Structure 1
């Protein structure tokens, strides 16, 4: 990939990927995979689930590259919307699986993931689970703007595009969410 292509915006790279340019798609992946992974890690509080879902998001992006037209210079809002759908679909699938096991009276054989033995990852997941529990208490519309603006670093305009709402609505939801979270999250020194 040339220096010129690395300076191209996402929309131009997306168009090239749609024409079959795998290097252009690879550059899009390099630009946004970390942001998608972080979004999903914050959603799931599981590193392995976030990795799997990130792969699913980019697989779907590759499959849809000729059908989806980006309306902004960045692909990130669209990728995060796909990530949101992927996480919700995964939760529904896991919930149905657990309900089916419970109805069948089958005990699940729980084997911890060997990666969870890494102390840093366990601590990260524990902290993220605490934050996720607090964010989960927010109304869905406020939770969405927190996930997009605060966790994923989208500006309010990009979040508005991803959610299909006005920028002013994003601003007011974000303000209310911040106020609620201040009351829900206890900092370590306050415990």
Structure 2
């Protein structure tokens, strides 16, 4: 995790200082927060949707929502990034509705310039989306609450304390949900393995020609 993600930088204001200015209506400070953390939000949204285009739109929506809620949010220091990912979790639950709600603003804004390393390789982008769709098919079999903590702690690379900030729940609740999520994933993996065994046994075995 980068130093900037933790809310401090070697040169320049911390996330907390920028957020304090942004809450007072300073667009330049908010723009710096976008520059620092938009790629993390973008990657997180991609993992929740398996679509680079949707992730791009949702990244813009997340920061639009953050700006809209800035006066009522008390995110300080290390809490800025978890708070942004918490918004991302909310808007990704119904990405179509979230994008539709902001469609007029999105139409007026230029696309968020976020380099995912695959811009010049459509085939690789399509392959990564397909792979993520396969992962999400399993992931979405978990209860919603377990999906949220697992996504934040694994894909968002947040600690239990940071996930608690993002979701507005106690740290102990995050840890218990995370434990249950891992147990459910293990059970799903074991069930999938059991299903493949009969199929393998039913495959015709090669026969040797008589000599």
Class of the TM-score when normalised by the shorter of the 2 chains? 0.7 to 0.9
Contact 2:91 2:98 in 1 (8 A): no
Cα 1:170–1:152 shift into 2, 3 Å? same
Contact 1:142 1:176 in 2 (8 A): yes
**Residues of 2 paired with 1:93 and 1:77: CA distance?**
19
Aligned partner of 1:109 in structure 2 is none
Aligned partner of 1:16 in structure 2 is 21
**Residues of 2 paired with 1:129 and 1:89: CA distance?**
16
Offset of residue 38 of structure 1: 1.4
Aligned partner of 1:174 in structure 2 is 178
The answer to whether 1:34 aligns with 2:43 is: no
Contact 1:149 1:156 in 2 (8 A): yes
Aligned partner of 1:59 in structure 2 is 64
Offset of residue 155 of structure 1: 0.7
When structure 1 is superposed on structure 2, of 25-34 and 146-155 the one drifting more is 25-34
**Residues of 2 paired with 1:18 and 1:136: CA distance?**
35
Query: Deviation digits for residues 162-189 of structure 1, max 9, x if unmatched?
Result: 22222122112112212322343579xx
Aligned partner of 1:122 in structure 2 is 126
Offset of residue 10 of structure 1: 1.8
Contact 1:45 1:129 in 2 (8 A): yes
Larger radius of gyration: 2
Unaligned stretches of 5+ residues in structure 1:
95-114
TM-score when normalising by structure 1:
0.75
RMSD over aligned CA atoms reads: 3.0
**Residues of 1 paired with 2:171 and 2:98: CA distance?**
33
Q: 1:56 is paired with a residue of what secondary structure?
A: helix
Offset of residue 78 of structure 1: 1.3
Aligned partner of 1:143 in structure 2 is 147
Unaligned stretches of 5+ residues in structure 2:
1-7, 100-118, 194-199, 201-211
Moved over 6 A (4+): none
**Residues of 1 paired with 2:138 and 2:125: CA distance?**
20
